[in-house]
Amino acid sequence: MENYIVSARKYRPATFDTVIGQKALTTTLKNAIADGKLAQAYLFCGPRGVGKTTCARIFAKTINCLNPTPEGEACNECESCQAFNEQRSFNIHELDAASNNSVDDIRQLVEQVRIPPQIGKYKVYIIDEVHMLSTSAFNAFLKTLEEPPRHAIFILATTEKQKILPTILSRCQIYDFNRIGIQDIVDHLASVAQKEGISYELDALNVIAQKADGGMRDALSIFDQVVSFTQGNITYQSVIENLNVLDYEYYFRLTDHMLHNDVSSSLLLLNEILNKGFDASNFINGLGSHFRDLLVSKDAATITLLEVGANIREQYKAQAQRAPLPFLYKAMKLCSDCALNYRNARNKRFLIECTLIQLAQLTQPDDESPSGGHGPQQTIKPIFNNNSPAVAAEVQQPVARQPQVQAEPAKSVQHGSQPQPISRSAMHQQTQSTSAKPQAISSISQLGVSIKKSQPITTSSEKGQEEHAQHIENKPVTQENVERSWRKFAEQLPHEQVAIKNRMQSMRITLIEGTQVEICVENELNAKQLNEMMVDIRRFMQKDLQNFLLEPHVVIKELPLSVKSLSRFEQYKKMVKKNPWLTQLRDNLGLELS
Ligand SMILES: [Zn+2]
């Protein structure tokens, strides 16, 4: 655990062979170097964090190595290799076109290109995010790319190949980097964990790998985050809690309810999930994926398509045996329809509940429906079959006279004491959204249901305040009070969101150009989490600081090495610098740094 920081840097591959998940590509590069068939320009395309820059660096090192190994790798020992490994080689130049994209930046680079290398044979120029270059910068660069000096090799890297001009494309050898497979990421995380003496559950690493979506850098960054949250003991439970992932268990339980045609329990489980603060659209997509995973688990030939850990795999196999194929086909279709309609639905919870009801009735025999299966096909059947007219009439009475039914709709459905046709119960559900118990309201607001079109999640009193606020003058904001407001927002988050809450406390917030607030995060996962909360963040900060021009947004930036790679002792020294009393405290208490 000691000195444990930034695995993505510490475990950055140093040879082609240790690059994960890009075997075909690294073999081709190695062969090209061994055969001396080097192109003058390469284009590395692919998603972020899959090894483009790493491969470019290894490539630069290898072609300059004075004693390459028989396998075509750099020796890591000669003067040139050492210079590379210590990041002091003059034969490699990296330009991040995302931040240096002007003509002047390119001119500077072009001038450097003329100077031949002192040691080694080649100078390698890596231009990252090359699609970000301005058009004029592109044109300035094109000339050099057409007639480069013999010692110069360009490696252009991009996440967006379609934005590269054809004139550039035609001059480059193109390499497409793949997303890295879940299993490859899990294996690598496991090896890092072993080297760091961190205990882990494979299912937990699997969740991290899935969250990273094929990017190793993100996977390692999320891994680091989880390690610090769990004090080096990575369990499945701690990971899903920290990453705000919905436990597989919920999908398994829900599917079992559906297979038993148990509408009530399905709805109650949905309520539980939404009350925990999970996003409804993620939920329905997750449920769709769950059915897909069950489908591939039914057949030994397709089970390889299942990307989960060993324990969960067994659970999938077992449930797949219980779920008939037609059920899975229809269930996938229903989930996909629901996801499609989700954005346009006015009452999103209602849409999802309808879908769950349909799902729970898929395996119900047709003759149980009132039409006996011969009438026009019904997509939703009555939930209960013992419909007595007397009770139905009772239900029709004004809702106000039945507070119990109104407050606990799900419970009454569960006990079956108040049978009602589903169409009414659904409307019931809809009207309840304004008057039901507090939880129901909170979960509906989590769905982002709008009361007024342009203003989601506002109550009428809040809305009044806001309208009022728009007429008053915007107050000037400072870096200091933006930071304070940010912390205030984090502090008021509910306990269920403790993980993101803690993380928000340590994020870097920068006020730029008066009203733009930049929120710095380390990986796409954090960016996504924050973006989901952005409406609330914006509203909170605008109101808190009385400035309605305030515009927070998220940027993904890797923190500078110096900030992150402090050992415990270095951290201590830094703290002492800020507060010299620490030394005395340490002495008085007889503390020792381990
Ligand atoms: Zn070497």
| Helix ranges, 147-279 (H) | 166-169, 182-196, 202-212, 216-230, 236-242, 248-259, 263-275
DSSP state of 303: G
Tell me which of 101 and 572 has the higher pLDDT: 101
H or E element in which residue 82 lies: helix 79-85
Cβ–Cβ under 8 Å, residues 489 and 540: yes
The pLDDT of residue 569: 64
Tally of CB atoms within 10 A around 270: 24
The yes-or-no verdict on residue 391 having pLDDT over 50 is no
Please tell me the distance from the alpha carbon of residue 438 to that of residue 427, in angstroms, as a whole number.
Answer: 19
Provide the pLDDT for residue 1.
43
- Between CA 342 and CA 336 the distance in angstroms is 10
Domains, the chain, ranges and CATH?
7-176 (3.40.50.300), 182-242 (1.10.8.60), 460-559 (3.30.300.180)
User: How many A from CA of 562 to the centre of ligand 1?
Assistant: 27
CA of 70 to the centre of ligand 1 (A): 12
Q: How confident is the model at residue 327 (pLDDT cuts 50, 70, 90)?
A: very high
- Could you tell me if 10 and 193 are in contact, meaning their C-beta atoms sit under 8 angstroms apart? no
pLDDT at 542 over 70: yes
CA 48 to ligand 1 centroid distance, Å: 28
Q: What is the mean pLDDT of residues 322-345?
A: 93
Distance 11 CA to ligand 1 centre (A): 20
**CA 120–ligand 1 middle distance (angstroms):** 10
Instruction: Give the model's pLDDT for residue 563.
Output: 42
Most confident option among 87-96, 285-294, 404-413, 578-587:
285-294
pLDDT band at 383 (very low <50, low <70, confident <90, very high): low
Q: Distance from the CA of 42 to the center of ligand 1, in angstroms?
A: 22
* Dihedral sign, Cα of residue 171, residue 23, residue 195, residue 209: positive
CA–CA separation, 476 vs 498, rounded Å? Answer: 31
Distance in Å, CA 565 to ligand 1 centroid: 27
CA dist., res. 53 & res. 40, Å (int): 17
The Å distance, Cα 109 to ligand 1 centre, comes to 26
d(CA 174, CA 240): 38
User: What is the spatial distance between Cα 460 and Cα 94, in angstroms, rounded to a whole number?
Assistant: 54
C-alpha distances (whole Å) from 191 to each of 50, 179, 195, 202, 221 are 18, 20, 6, 11, 15
> Quick one: pLDDT band at residue 562, thresholds 50, 70, 90?
very low
When pLDDT is averaged across residues 311-330 and rounded to a whole number, the result is: 92
Query: How large is the average pLDDT for residues 477-493?
Result: 88
Instruction: State the distance from the centre of ligand 1 to the C-alpha of 37, rounded, in angstroms.
Output: 19
Digit-coded pLDDT (tens) for 109-136: 888 888 888 877 899 999 999 998 888 8
Cβ neighbours, 10 Å, residue 292: 17
Residue 263 has a pLDDT of 94
Query: Tokens 């951290």 map to which residue?
Result: 571
Q: How far is the CA of 16 from the centre of ligand 1 (A)?
A: 13
304 pLDDT more than 60: yes
**Ligand 1 centre distance from Cα of residue 64 (Å):** 7
Comparing CA positions, the residue from 142, 127, 171, 152 lying closest to residue 63 is: 152
Q: How far is ligand 1, taken at its centre, from the CA of residue 61, in Å?
A: 7
Contact 208, 223 (CB under 8 A): yes
249 touches 286 (CB < 8 A): no
Rounded to the nearest whole angstrom, what is the distance from the C-alpha of residue 429 to the centroid of ligand 1? 70
578 torsion bin: left (phi>0), alpha (psi -120 to 50), beta (else): alpha
Report the separation in Å between the CA atom of 89 and the middle of ligand 1, taken as the mean of its atom positions.
Answer: 12
Q: Rounded to the nearest 5 degrees, what angle is found at the Cα of 124, between the Cα atoms of 119 and 126?
A: 150
Q: What is the pLDDT of residue 166?
A: 87
- pLDDT tens digits for 419-469? 444 444 444 444 444 443 444 344 343 443 333 333 444 444 544 454 454
What are the structure tokens assigned to 78, written together?
Answer: 């000669």
Chain-centroid distance, C-alpha 554: 13
Residue 544's nearest CA partner among 477, 445, 473 is: 477
Q: How far is the CA of 26 from the centre of ligand 1 (A)?
A: 18
- Give yes or no for residue 271 having a pLDDT over 50: yes
* Cβ 103 vs Cβ 97: under 8 Å: no
Cα–ligand 1 centroid distance for 76 (angstroms): 5
Residue 181 sits at the vertex; the CA angle it makes with 338 and 191, to the nearest 5 degrees, is 130
pLDDT computed for residue 408 by the predictor = 39
User: Across the chain, what does the average pLDDT equal?
Assistant: 79
Give the phi and the psi of residue 155 in degrees, each rounded to 5: -120, 110
Find the helix or strand (DSSP H, E) in which 312 lies: helix 310-322
Q: Which two tokens stand for residue 593?
A: 């740094």
pLDDT tens, residue by residue, 202-253: 999 999 998 888 899 999 999 999 998 888 899 999 998 888 888 888 999 9
Amino acid of residue 200: Y
Return the pLDDT at 29.
92
Tell me the whole-structure pTM to 2 decimals.
0.63
Q: pLDDT exceeding 90 applies to what percent of the chain?
A: 32
Cα distance between residue 132 and residue 560, in whole Å: 22
Compute, in angstroms, the gap from residue 457 CA to the centroid of ligand 1: 61
Give pLDDT, residue 564. Answer: 44
Residue 427 confidence (pLDDT): 43
Q: What is the Å distance from ligand 1's center to 444 Cα?
A: 61
DSSP annotation string for 501-518: HHHHHTSEEEEETTTEEE
Please answer whether residues 109 and 142 qualify as being in contact, where contact means their C-beta atoms are separated by less than 8 angstroms.
Answer: no
Residues 370-393, mean pLDDT to the nearest whole number: 47
User: 34 alpha carbon to ligand 1 midpoint, in Å?
Assistant: 14
Distance 368 CA to ligand 1 centre (A): 77
Least confident among 230-234, 432-436, 492-496, 544-548 = 432-436
pLDDT, tens digit, 9 for 90 and up, residues 135-192: 888 888 888 888 889 999 999 999 998 988 888 889 999 999 989 999 999 999 999 9
On the question of pLDDT at 15 being above 50, the answer is yes
